[in-house]
Amino acid sequence: MTTRANAQADESAWPLLPEERRWGAARLTLTLATTAAATWCYLIGESVGSYLGFIKGGLALGAGCMIGMVLVLLAAGPTCVRFGIDSVAATKPQFGSRGWVVPAALQAVSIIGWNSLLIIFFAKSAVQLSVALGILDVGPRHAALVPALTVLACTIIFAVLRRGATGVSMVSNILVAHVFIGLWMLYLLVSRRWPELMAAQPANASSDHLWNYTTGIELGIGATLSWWPYIGAMIRMAPNGRTIVLPVMLGMAAPVPILSLIGLAGSLVLKSSDPTEWLRIVGGPAYAIVSLTFVTAANFGTTTAGIYASAVGLRNFAALQERTWTTLLLITIAPVALVGIFIPELFFAKFGNFLALIGVAFAPLCGIQIVDYFVLRRGRIDIRAIYVDSPDQPYYFWHGINPAAMIALAAGCYTYITFLNPLSYRSIAPYPYLTASLPSAAAAALTYFLASLLVNRAGRGGYPRP
């Protein structure tokens, strides 16, 4: 393998060789923590604060995040870390050598959605920071600066990601400090407003306490399931499974609920999840500046990782394999920039629904991958078949598509919507006992298992014989 090939490896969707996978636990933890900690934490916290108080909400959200993360780790982790491939490539044994475009589309929609939201926050925070520092005057015309700053942020991200995964790691090393600033902000609010925090009542709590509690858990599971598109591109840089478990569980799953407590506390006590607003109330303008710096840094780091993961995912398309990394980055960043420029407010308004829709898609996907890897294939993956789209390869199924995975995905999504309508939040009787994501994953896994027995009987899929 030439040096040139090694340098380009992390810019492709090709499997990484052991000598190219040099990220240790510390580097992976830093990168994952920087990726996980962003403005969405406030929004998640605010959503939980609508139904639960501080202690109950924090614990329900924390438990949900850890449960969701272990599902993602079990689904994408084994294949990604064994072969050094990304999340999308790891779905080919289940969805087929052409059917993988379905999870690829889910990944693209998810990352573009999240990153658009974060980049808008980034731009708004930068404007507010400039006003707070006296660089800009106070005035309504600053709304026009948001699109300009969106473009600027996208340009910086583009420049950073020209270096591939090294760029992501470099940004993480610098920006990880914001996680500690976030913890300090949490300490500030909790220490100064503890009595009010304990007395605060959630605004939209149902009369059914179990329903409220389960919704807190469900929001945590849904939030971490949204890491499925990101995780493969990061953990494939690590050499083995042992290296990834603690970084993923502690670096990626833990910061989300901890930093979400900022939004949870703010929404309960001060009726605002935006720390910029309440830090000014609690500590004056100097604290607001610190908070704005935090928000700006946090969103920039996460968006950088998201764009990188999305670009690697797009590499799986044959038409994009030969394109330059620069072209691929431009294709990935353009939709984010366009959303940030033209429809920023729509994304803000629809965040709750968006979060729920994420759970609808990714819970069944995780269920399918887990049963495929651990039960049906018992860990036997054909790496060549992942990259060869040909009828003589096991993952070709029928015309490159595995109907079992498609049916199972539909069954999982239907189960989720039946248990909890993500738009109206209407639920059925078992929801408070089971959540919606877990039955959705289980229904998809069971459907996939049963349908795969027929696929196996037809001699497709390359499943090992008992």
Partner 1 sequence: MTDPEQSDPAPRAPALPPQLEERIAAIEIAGRTSDFDTSSWFWMIVLGVVIPLMMLAVGWWA
Site residues (vs partner 1, CB under 8 A): 1, 5, 14-15, 17-18, 55-56, 58-60, 62-64, 66-67, 69-70, 73-74, 77-79, 81-83, 213, 217, 240-242, 244-246, 249-250, 253, 321, 379-380, 383-384, 387-393
What does R_g of the chain's alpha carbons equal in angstroms? 22
- Rounded to 10 degrees, the C-alpha dihedral 197/201/203/206 comes to 140
Whether the Cβ atoms of residue 233 and residue 332 lie closer than 8 Å to each other: no
Quote the least distance from Cβ 176 to partner 1, whole Å.
21
Whether the Cβ atoms of residue 439 and residue 138 lie closer than 8 Å to each other: no
User: Between residues 118 and 385, which has the closer beta carbon with respect to partner 1?
Assistant: 385
Chain centre to alpha carbon of residue 30:
16
Quote the least distance from Cβ 293 to partner 1, whole Å.
31
Quote the least distance from Cβ 365 to partner 1, whole Å.
18
User: Between residues 47 and 128, which has the closer beta carbon with respect to partner 1?
Assistant: 47
Whether the Cβ atoms of residue 108 and residue 314 lie closer than 8 Å to each other: yes
Quote the least distance from Cβ 296 to partner 1, whole Å.
31
Residue 249 DSSP class:
I
User: Between residues 272 and 321, which has the closer beta carbon with respect to partner 1?
Assistant: 321
Quote the least distance from Cβ 438 to partner 1, whole Å.
12
Quote the least distance from Cβ 418 to partner 1, whole Å.
23
Q: Which two tokens stand for residue 300?
A: 């920039």
Taking the C-alpha atoms of residue 376 and residue 378, their distance in angstroms, rounded to an integer, is 6
Quote the least distance from Cβ 249 to partner 1, whole Å.
4
User: Between residues 155 and 390, which has the closer beta carbon with respect to partner 1?
Assistant: 390
Supply angle C-alpha 362, 419, 110, rounded to 5.
25
Nearest Cα to 279, choosing from 174, 453, 132, 166? 132
Taking the C-alpha atoms of residue 357 and residue 50, their distance in angstroms, rounded to an integer, is 19
Residue 58 half-sphere exposure toward CB, CA atoms < 13 A: 17
User: Between residues 25 and 109, which has the closer beta carbon with respect to partner 1?
Assistant: 25
Taking the C-alpha atoms of residue 299 and residue 304, their distance in angstroms, rounded to an integer, is 8
User: Between residues 27 and 56, which has the closer beta carbon with respect to partner 1?
Assistant: 56
Taking the C-alpha atoms of residue 37 and residue 288, their distance in angstroms, rounded to an integer, is 18
User: Between residues 77 and 229, which has the closer beta carbon with respect to partner 1?
Assistant: 77
